[in-house]
Amino acid sequence: MLKNDIFLRALLKQPVEYTPVWIMRQAGRYLPEYRAIRQKAGSFMSLCKNKTLACEVALQPLQRFNLDAAILFSDILTIPDAMGLGLHFETGEGPIFRYPVRDIKAVRSLEIPDSEDALSYVTDAVSLIKKTLNGSVPLIGFSGSPWTLATYMVEGKSTKEFKLIKGLMYNEPETVHLLLEKLAAAVTDYLNAQIRHGADVVQIFDTWGGILTPEAYREFSLQYMERIIKGLIRQREGREIPVILFTKNSGLWLEAIVKAGATTVGLDWTINMADARRRIGDKVSLQGNMDPCLLYASPTRIRQEVKKILHDFSDGGKIKTGHVFNLGHGVHPGVNPDNVCAMVDAVHEFSQ
Ligand code: CP3
């Protein structure tokens, strides 16, 4: 039994006493206690692969803030790593793949990893975090979307231009489709394994879907997320497993996104919450969407913004279910944890 299931109730539009809140990338470098464990682990990937440390790090933000959900500590790039692309993280540069995938031959030779085997360090972390939480709050599992994973696998690193992946998409769409098909199968298996091991909710991070044209978004990103959602375990022990779909920069396409079948649509800060609610709020619940840069402002300014977003989702000031408060993207490494605390407490205070 969960002691605090308000997050699940808000996702499922069941009655709530206040608006629940969690933060994308809530366990990370903005916390000094994270930096200490990260240093002890030696590298980011060895931290992810050590279930005891991964569990400790996942619980750190819950010890500091009054959050309504925990998230698995891992990364979206675990799947390409398990496919043999040789992932490592360079300080200040982000992820690097030693063997990027850039032609049909390389895509054909990719094998879909068995999550219970090649990714058992992730499912082990899920089990341990779930057990350690001891029912205090729900646990979120996650994966990248096929398109977002493909951008890293083709580029071989983070990019601002998307030259290689977009070049390949326009020149050889069938190569990219084969890659996305394999990734959709891998993600479905991976998320189902996380659900079997204890994830109460799963979120698909489509960080780079919003760089596509509207047509390409449907063809190369949304279609595959819809396929994944259809293949997910949606019930466990009599409880529904909600699915959150987050595409950054997707405000123009909300009506299309709803059709993918997720329980909840995650919003970035480029769309107004009242507009989003009016457009799709009768079909799905919404998550978001404070600009992460507000955490660089004062607690007074942060509280003002929290109040505004809550008000935008409400019925003329009366709080409604169907909203989970979050940032519009991950928390930045440079923010002061005290400001995060101000945000979390303001959400609870203003939504009672
Ligand atoms: O939310 C959480 O607290 C859970 C952990 C989590 C991480 N990454 C840990 C992490 C989650 C949910 C992710 C998702 C992720 N990873 C995404 C999608 C969300 C988003 O932010 O857009 C993406 C694109 C990645 C890929 C990735 N991982 C990049 C590009 C980088 C380097 C840039 C950066 O933000 O550091 C990472 C590294 C990473 N993933 C860190 C953490 C805590 C920092 C690693 C370190 O300690 O040096």
Burial 96-123 (b: 16+ CB within 10 A, else e): bbeebbbeeebbeebebbebeebbebbb
Q: Whose CA is nearest to atom 21 of ligand 1?
A: 330
Helical (H) or strand (E) element with 190? helix 173-196
**Gap between the Cα atoms of 188 and 337, Å rounded:** 34
Write the burial class of residue 190 (CB in 10 Å: 0-12 exposed, 13-18 middle, 19+ buried): buried
What pLDDT does 91 receive? Answer: 79
Active site residue 30: no
**Separation of 17 CA from ligand 1 center, angstroms?**
32
Is 77 close to ligand 1, i.e. is its CB under 6 Å away?
Answer: yes
Q: Return phi, psi of residue 73, to 5°.
A: -95, 110
Residues 6+ apart with CB under 8 A from 178: 104, 107, 108
pLDDT along the chain (352 residues), means of 10: 96 98 98 97 96 98 98 98 95 92 98 97 98 98 98 97 98 98 98 98 98 98 98 96 98 98 98 98 98 98 98 92 98 98 98 94
Catalytic residue among 5, 68, 75, 189: 75
Please, which residues have CB within 8 angstroms of residue 68's CB and are 6 or more apart in sequence? 4, 6, 7, 20, 21, 22, 137, 138, 324
Who contacts 120 (Cβ-Cβ below 8 Å, separation ≥6)? none
Specify the 3-state DSSP secondary structure of 326.
Answer: strand
Closest by alpha carbon to 245, among 224, 270, 269? Answer: 224
pLDDT for residue 92: 78
Ligand 1 center–CA 261 separation, angstroms: 25
Instruction: Name the DSSP letter for residue 16.
Output: -
Does ligand 1 lie within 6 Å of residue 95's CB atom?
yes
Q: Is the CB of 208 under 6 A from ligand 1?
A: no
215-240 pLDDT per residue, tens: 999 999 999 999 999 999 999 999 99
Measure CA 334 to chain center: 20
Which tokens belong to 173?
A: 């769409």
Mutate to test the pocket of ligand 1, among 22, 23, 25, 202 (most ligand atoms within 8 A of CB): 25
Cβ of 27 closer than 6 Å to ligand 1, yes or no, is yes
Phi, psi of 213 (to 5 degrees): -70, 160
Of ligand 1's atoms, which has the minimum distance to the CA of residue 207?
22
Which atom of ligand 1 is nearest to 94's Cα? 32
Residue 240 CA to ligand 1 center (angstroms) comes to 27
> Residue of the nearest CA to atom 5 in ligand 1?
73
- Say if residues 327 and 290 touch (Cβ distance below 8 Å): yes
**Cα–Cα distance for residue pair 310/146, rounded to 1 Å:** 32
Which positions ≥6 away from 100 have C-beta within 8 Å? 85, 153, 154, 155, 156
In the three-class reduction of DSSP (H, G, I as helix; E, B as strand; rest coil), residue 195 is classed as helix
Ligand 1 near 109 CB (within 6 A): no
> What's the predicted TM-score (pTM) here?
0.98
H or E stretch at 187 = helix 173-196
- Give pLDDT, residue 317: 87
Q: Give yes or no for a cis peptide into 289 (omega within 30° of 0).
A: yes
* Ligand 1 in reach of 25 Cβ (< 6 A): yes
* Residue 99 designated active-site: no
pLDDT of residue 108: 98
**Which residue in 9, 38, 227, 277 is the catalytic one?**
38
Residue 30 CA to ligand 1 centre (angstroms): 12
218 catalytic? Reply is no
What pLDDT shows up at residue 90? 81
Is the shortest distance between the CB of 158 and ligand 1 below 6 Å? yes
CB 205 near ligand 1, within 6 Å? yes
| Residues 267, 14, 223: CA angle, nearest 5 degrees | 40
